[in-house]
Amino acid sequence: MATSVERSPESGEDAYSTIRGELKQYSFQTEPVPRLHHLDPRVEALMRAEKPVVITDTNLVKSAFHWDADYLSSNIGSAKQTVYSSYKNKFLYYDDKKLPQFPDLQLATKHEEMTFKEFTEKVKNHKKGDKIYYLQQALNDSVGKSLVLDFIKFNWSWATEQQKKYKWGALTSNLLLVGMDGVITPAHYDEQQNFFAQIGGFKRFLLFDPSMFECLYPYPVYHPHDRQSQVDFDNPDHERFPNFRNLYGQEAIVGPGDVLYLPIYWWHQVESVPNHGMTVSVNFWYKSGTEEKIVYPLKPQQKVAMMRNIEKMVTSAINNHEEVPHLLKTMVLGRYT
Amino acid sequence: MATSVERSPESGEDAYSTIRGELKQYSFQTEPVPRLHHLDPRVEALMRAEKPVVITDTNLVKSAFHWDADYLSSNIGSAKQTVYSSYKNKFLYYDDKKLPQFPDLQLATKHEEMTFKEFTEKVKNHKKGDKIYYLQQALNDSVGKSLVLDFIKFNWSWATEQQKKYKWGALTSNLLLVGMDGVITPAHYDEQQNFFAQIGGFKRFLLFDPSMFECLYPYPVYHPHDRQSQVDFDNPDHERFPNFRNLYGQEAIVGPGDVLYLPIYWWHQVESVPNHGMTVSVNFWYKSGTEEKIVYPLKPQQKVAMMRNIEKMVTSAINNHEEVPHLLKTMVLGRYT
Ligand SMILES: [Zn+2]
Ligand SMILES: [Zn+2]
């Protein structure tokens, strides 16, 4: 399924140099995310600091390396899968629960339910201008027996060791992502720790630390696009979003067998590398641990959590999200600006 | 002490017309505050709606009508009084408890302790260019016996009847205000219900309803000038405070015997009318009652309370007021603007 690419798991910067040369450039600068063998002590240092790192040779999802389109078609089961479709290659996430408050919101992405077979047919027969499809299905008890057996053989001992070492909370879900090449999940942050395990194909990550919140202008918390940047990376509105010019980040390519540690509250745009085939990935999402004691100054992630709480509190107290912008502007403009 | 002025307590708009013609005009429009006999049913309607009204013939502080400079000098007692001094006639309030966080704040107003005799000497001998003095002393157990007797004879039965009718909380304090003519307390709001009872001289009130918060730009809550407008009414900075152009309000003059109901969260600038002598007033501050049930949309005063709580919460959580503006701007600019 994926084009073969020369890999050098131990040599950091030089891995995937072919792919790297093909990628679209954006207006901001990036540094490479360190790429390290799972036994390298720098992995622990980075993870303790909640900084991203591509970890090699974990064997976390080795038992799923044969999860290509044909195998999944035959073995994932007959249940309908969660698939998003769009005429554009950007799949901006939206929160279904927040949609009823926004009846006029235009969504470029539609949610469709279909079997995995139907999904792969659409992927195989795709022609330029056709709809693009992106499967995002939680690995749950609807999957077939042989997939369950593969799932059980994930390297849970390694995963659980990390979970304990970094005092994370419970594993909340594993999301299977199967994307046509070229699909993009635009910049957003998640509220959980994540091991992003690549199985097939190549994904490019653009990563921005939590302090970049001020450069990325997420939608209001009550909005269906909560946690997603409002900035169009391909055509940024510098007047509305002046700090976008100050954005800089990190960049990683992950291929089969790689595990990206994606720290909680870190921003990420994820792109299935064009012209290298379908991508298959599995997310391991963990709840954050509980802070032992508060240390000042607060970390950027703690400030993001605080802003989220304020926005939720105001929206709930005012009981009408349409009144929230006016209240927040009244509180801040000319008083704190 | 006060120049005699023709008064017509029952005739609303025409009371104090002489004084009204002498007053400085500001850039905003005002309507007159209704001036009504305490038995007029419109008083109750206004008070239920938390709107200001000048109430006549309450006899609330009739027992203090002889509190002129000489009587207070002889009878208030020998304790030091709280007096503010300034070379300017504007006495911008500051909160002592918040001063340590602002070591570089320049205060035009100084707090001095002196006996009432020393205070009246300074008032009597005042020449142009001298410091201006404004006494603001809580009526407490330090006052002399005859003042206590006068105080006991305030019309408490009327006051307590109102407190019950409008479901206010406890009476928290009575503040005695004695000001040289021309002193100004710049626009601010208080967090209590207030009966402002005039004893001697004439005070002009400029009043703005709580929705005018957005036109008046109060200092941050952590600032010593919390609750005070940042706008200089004599020289407004329209670039920093663009909504000040949308300000409009109400206006009242109160003379001896008048009681102004000053609703909680209403903005007020208070001026001792120039060239009409020293003013003597007593505040009756009551805690707000507890809301029975929440009704949407929220009232402007409830939104002000909410903004205050957010600002307090953020300042406390971030543990350094200097970081608050950046966090609030990050939360709002480009996201809610
Ligand atoms: Zn994500
Ligand atoms: Zn006041």
Query: Residue B195: which CATH number?
Result: 2.60.120.10
Closest ligand (CA of A281)? 1
Per-residue pLDDT, A14: 64
Question: CA–CA distance from B185 to each of A165, A193, B182, B215, B279 (Å)?
Answer: 60, 54, 10, 18, 13
A-chain residues within 8 Å CB-CB of B307? 327, 330-331
Is residue B240 within 8 angstroms of chain A, CB to CB?
yes
A-chain residues within 8 Å CB-CB of B335? 217-220, 230
B147 and B77 inside one domain: yes
Q: Which helix (H) or strand (E) holds B73?
A: helix B69-75
H-assigned helices in chain A: 17-22, 41-48, 69-75, 116-124, 145-152, 156-165, 213-216, 300-318, 324-332
Of B214, B219, B317, the CB nearest to A330: B214
B148 and B246 inside one domain: yes
Per-residue pLDDT, B290: 83
B-chain residues within 8 Å CB-CB of A307? 327, 330-331
Of B297, B317, B330, the CB nearest to A323: B297
How many angstroms separate the CA atoms of A136 and A83, rounded? 6
B8 part of a folded domain: no
Closest ligand (CA of A265)? 1
B315 and B199 inside one domain: no
Question: Is residue B167 within 8 Å of residue B289, measured between CB atoms?
Answer: yes
A294 part of a folded domain: no
Closest ligand (CA of A203)? 1
Domain that holds residue A79: 13-286
B218 and B306 inside one domain: no
Q: What is the mean pLDDT of residues B301-310?
A: 97
How many angstroms separate the CA atoms of B251 and B20, rounded? 10
pLDDT at B6 over 50: no
Q: Which two tokens stand for residue A78?
A: 């007959």
A-chain residues within 8 Å CB-CB of B226? none
How many angstroms separate the CA atoms of A194 and A5, rounded? 26
Q: Which two tokens stand for residue A263?
A: 């720290």
- Give me the phi and psi of B249, to 5 degrees please: -155, -160
Question: Is residue A229 within 8 Å of residue A261, measured between CB atoms?
Answer: no
Closest ligand (CA of B92)? 2
3-state secondary structure of A189: strand
CA nearest B189: which of B169, B175, B173, B210? Answer: B210
How many angstroms separate the CA atoms of A115 and A113, rounded? 7
A204 and A314 inside one domain: no
Q: What is the mean pLDDT of residues B184-206?
A: 98
Q: How far is the CA of B307 from the centre of ligand 2 (A)?
A: 19
A217 and A318 inside one domain: no
B-chain residues within 8 Å CB-CB of A331? 307, 310-311, 328, 332
Phi-psi region of B107 (alpha: psi -120 to 50; beta: other; left: phi over 0): beta
Per-residue pLDDT, B12: 46
Alpha-carbon distance B98 to nearest alpha carbon in chain A (angstroms): 17
Of A297, A317, A334, the CB nearest to B323: A297
Question: Is residue B277 within 8 Å of residue B201, measured between CB atoms?
Answer: yes
A212 and A315 inside one domain: no
> Model confidence over B213-241: pLDDT tens digits?
999 999 999 999 999 999 999 999 999 99
Q: What is the 3-state secondary structure (H, E, C) of B116-147?
A: HHHHHHHHHCCCCCCCEEEEEEECCCCCCHHH
List the A267-272 sheet strands across, edge first: A29-32, A248-254, A203-208, A267-272, A184-189
Count Cβ–Cβ pairs < 8 Å, chain A vs chain B.
Answer: 102
How many angstroms separate the CA atoms of B67 and B65, rounded? 6
> Model confidence over A71-111: pLDDT tens digits?
999 999 999 999 999 999 999 999 999 999 999 999 999 99
How many angstroms separate the CA atoms of A53 and A31, rounded? 12
pLDDT category, B2, cuts 50, 70, 90?
Answer: very low
Q: What is the mean pLDDT of residues B176-186?
A: 97
B103 part of a folded domain: yes
pLDDT category, B293, cuts 50, 70, 90?
Answer: confident
Answer whether the bond into residue B297 is a cis peptide, omega within 30°: yes
Alpha-carbon distance A214 to nearest alpha carbon in chain B (angstroms): 5
B309 and B282 inside one domain: no
A181 and A262 inside one domain: yes
Residues composing chain B: 337
Q: Which two tokens stand for residue B6?
A: 């023709």
Per-residue pLDDT, A15: 67
The DSSP secondary structure of A205-220, one letter per residue, reads EEEE-GGGHHHH-BBP
Per-residue pLDDT, B15: 67
Residue corresponding to tokens 């503040």 = B175
The number of domains in chain A is 2
Residue corresponding to tokens 């003379």 = B255
Dihedral of the CA atoms B192, B194, B199, B204 (nearest 10)?
90
Answer whether the bond into residue A297 is a cis peptide, omega within 30°: yes
A324 and A191 inside one domain: no
Which residues of chain B form beta strands (DSSP E)? 29-32, 35-37, 53-56, 81-86, 110-114, 132-138, 171-179, 184-189, 193-200, 203-208, 248-254, 259-262, 267-272, 279-286
Question: Is residue B66 within 8 Å of residue B59, measured between CB atoms?
Answer: no
Is residue B149 within 8 angstroms of chain A, CB to CB?
no
Low-confidence ranges of chain A (pLDDT < 70): 1-15
In the chain, the amino acid numbered B131 is K
Which residue from A minimizes the CA distance to B330?
A214
Alpha-carbon distance A243 to nearest alpha carbon in chain B (angstroms): 9
pTM: 0.93
Q: How far is the CA of A67 from the centre of ligand 1 (A)?
A: 22
B293 part of a folded domain: no
- Determine how many CB atoms are found less than 10 A away from the CB of residue A151: 17
A199 and A314 inside one domain: no
How many angstroms separate the CA atoms of B168 and B289, rounded? 4
How many angstroms separate the CA atoms of A12 and A251, rounded? 12
Q: What is the mean pLDDT of residues B202-215?
A: 98
Q: How far is the CA of B224 from the centre of ligand 2 (A)?
A: 15
Is residue B329 within 8 angstroms of chain A, CB to CB?
yes
Determine what percent of chain B is predicted with pLDDT higher than 70.
Answer: 96
Question: Is residue B258 within 8 Å of residue B41, measured between CB atoms?
Answer: no
B-chain residues within 8 Å CB-CB of A314? 306, 310
How many angstroms separate the CA atoms of A76 and A143, rounded? 5
> Model confidence over A167-194: pLDDT tens digits?
999 999 999 999 999 999 999 999 999 9
Query: Quick check: A328 and B336 CB within 8 A?
Result: yes
A291 part of a folded domain: no
How many angstroms separate the CA atoms of A250 and A191, rounded? 19
B257 and B321 inside one domain: no
3-state secondary structure of B325: helix
> Model confidence over B257-267: pLDDT tens digits?
999 999 999 99
Query: Quick check: B330 and A307 CB within 8 A?
Result: yes
